[in-house]
Each structure stands twice: as structure tokens, then as C-alpha cells.
């Protein structure tokens, strides 16, 4: 009687080789045969929903996860309910890399909206990457990219002011979405102002005021979660150089 949506999901063949994200994800640079081998160890479950966890801090590390559609936030829960948001993860991005070393998750990963996720059992993955040099290489690159990205965040949190931080956040969202074939100037944010502020090291109120200011300046048009970037160029330069409005440089 009621159509079960699950059916269509189960019957569609979801394979790495058909995935539009394969150029962002692990298969990059691999032969079709090797992609099949990778494909054979990847698990795909039914879609996860807002609030679901991929894993929680303290759990044993077993798998890496790749966002296929939707978005995920990672965060370190600290004592007393406070938390530090570590990142927001869009389609094609890998989650769980920080857990390899200790063989345990130090952060939690929570789904922000209905999302499809690929699970990659790590032990099997390691065996496979030993026998596929280009897979090992791609994995090294992905780990390295994560480190570069973290370094950018350190610069952001260490040196940039509130305005530059939010501009950098919006510019980053824009860039990442456009790489996935979506509009770089018109998108919906799946996270709350509170989460954005937490991520950027700012209070919610500051984030809100900045959205208002950017809108007043004609940089963006904002309606709740819906963001239109009207002047991407200015936004990017705000995000970058910081000294745009003040020729003095930070000495620290």
C-alpha cells in the first residue's frame, strides 16, 4: 500500500565507479579494475538522518566514512556539555582520519541533515592499499590535505579577526560546493549559527551581527539558512589578506 522508499535505494547499484565524487574521493587515479576492488570493501547503508552519529568519541576505530550526499559535523565533546566543532564535511570528504593513530575516535561525528555515507573498513583498506600503489598514494594525499587544511584553520583562529573568519568560512563553503558541481553563490547552510560560531571560535551573537553587516554592505543576501553571495570576489579577499582595511600588520 504505502510505497517503501527504501526499495529504490537498495536496488540502485551504487558503486564507486559510477560515483560523481570519485575524483574527489579515494578512487582518484586508479584503474577501473582497482576501483572495483575498492568498491568491494565499501559498505553502504540506508540514509542517515539529522542527529544520527557515525561514531562517538571514545569508540574503537574500525572504519573511515565518506560523505556521499548531505553533511556531517565532527566535534570533540568536552566535559559539561561544551564542545568544539572541528569541521563540517561535505560530499566527497573523508571522516575519521584522526582516529587511525590511537585506534580510537577522539571526536564524534553527527549527521546534520539526511545523508548517504560510505563506510570503509580500515583494516581491509590498508591491505588493499598495500597492493595498489595509486591507492596508497591517494590516501597519503588525502591525509596530507587534511593536515594542510588544519594549518589553514590554525592561521584563521590564531591571526584572523571575526570578520575575516566568517568571510573565510563562506568562501570555503562556496569553493567546496562548486567543486561538487553546485552553485558557488547560492546555497543552504545545514548548520546553525551556534555551530558556525563554535567552529570559528566566535560567539553566536558575533556571527549573527556579521551576517547582518555583510548583508548591509551588499556582500551577501541571507535568509535564515539560505545564503546568496552577491560579491564573491570581495568575500574572498576579505577572507584572505585581512589587512585590507588596516595597513598595520598583526605583530603576534
Partner DNA sequence: AACCCCGATTGATATGCATCAAGGCGCAAT
Partner DNA sequence: ATTGCGCCTTGATGCATATCAATCGGGGTT
What is the contact surface with DNA in residues (CB under 7 A)? 161-163, 192-194, 197, 201-209, 211-212, 222, 224-225, 248, 250-252
Q: Write down the least CB distance from residue 64 to a copy of itself, Å.
A: 11
User: In the complex with a copy of itself, which residue's Cβ is closer, 169 or 187?
Assistant: 169
Per the CB < 8 A criterion, the answer to whether 71 and 40 are in contact is no
Q: Write down the least CB distance from residue 119 to DNA, Å.
A: 28
DSSP state of 72: E
CA distances from 79 to 7, 83, 134 (A): 42, 8, 42
Q: Write down the least CB distance from residue 243 to a copy of itself, Å.
A: 7
Q: How far apart are CA 235 and CA 221, in angstroms?
A: 13
User: In the complex with a copy of itself, which residue's Cβ is closer, 4 or 82?
Assistant: 82
Buried b (16+ CB within 10 A) or exposed e, 145-159: eeeeeeeebeebeee
Q: Which does 198 bind (CB under 5 to 8 A by kind): DNA, a copy of itself, none?
A: a copy of itself
Residues that bind a copy of itself (CB under 8 A): 76, 79-82, 84, 86, 97-102, 106-107, 126-127, 129-131, 133, 136-137, 139-148, 150-151, 153-155, 157-159, 194, 197-204, 241, 243, 249-252
Q: How far apart are CA 7 and CA 211, in angstroms?
A: 42
Q: Write down the least CB distance from residue 28 to a copy of itself, Å.
A: 12
Please enumerate in sequence order all residues whose Cβ is within 8 A of that of 10, keeping only pairs 6 or more positions apart, or say none.
46
Amino acid at each position: 500500500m504505502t510505497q517503501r522508499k527504501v526499495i529504490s535505494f537498495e536496488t540502485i547499484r551504487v558503486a564507486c565507479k559510477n560515483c560523481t565524487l570519485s575524483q574527489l574521493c579515494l578512487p582518484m587515479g586508479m584503474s577501473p579494475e582497482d576501483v572495483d576492488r575498492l568498491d568491494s570493501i565499501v559498505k553502504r547503508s540506508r540514509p542517515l538522518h539529522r542527529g544520527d552519529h557515525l561514531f562517538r568519541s571514545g569508540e574503537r576505530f574500525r572504519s573511515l566514512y565518506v560523505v556521499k550526499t548531505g553533511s556531517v559535523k565532527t566535534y570533540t565533546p568536552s566535559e559539561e556539555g561544551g564542545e568544539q566543532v572541528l569541521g563540517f564535511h561535505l560530499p566527497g570528504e573523508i571522516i575519521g582520519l584522526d582516529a587511525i593513530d590511537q585506534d580510537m575516535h577522539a571526536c564524534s561525528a553527527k549527521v546534520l541533515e539526511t545523508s548517504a555515507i560510505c563506510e570503509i573498513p580500515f583494516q581491509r583498506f590498508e591491505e588493499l592499499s598495500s597492493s595498489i600503489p595509486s591507492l596508497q598514494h591517494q590516501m597519503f594525499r588525502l591525509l596530507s590535505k587534511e593536515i594542510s587544511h588544519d594549518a589553514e584553520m590554525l592561521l584563521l583562529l590564531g591571526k584572523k579577526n571575526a570578520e575575516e573568519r566568517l568571510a573565510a568560512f563562506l568562501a570555503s563553503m562556496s569553493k567546496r560546493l562548486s567543486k561538487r558541481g553546485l552553485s558557488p553563490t547560492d546555497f543552504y547552510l545545514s548548520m546553525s549559527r551556534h555551530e558556525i560560531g563554535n567552529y570559528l571560535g566566535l560567539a553566536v551573537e558575533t556571527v549573527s551581527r556579521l551576517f547582518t553587516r555583510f548583508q548591509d554592505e551588499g556582500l551577501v543576501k541571507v535568509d535564515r539558512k539560505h545564503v546568496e553571495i552577491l560579491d564573491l570576489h570581495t568575500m574572498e579577499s576579505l577572507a584572505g589578506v585581512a589587512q585590507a582595511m588596516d595597513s598595520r600588520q598583526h605583530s603576534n
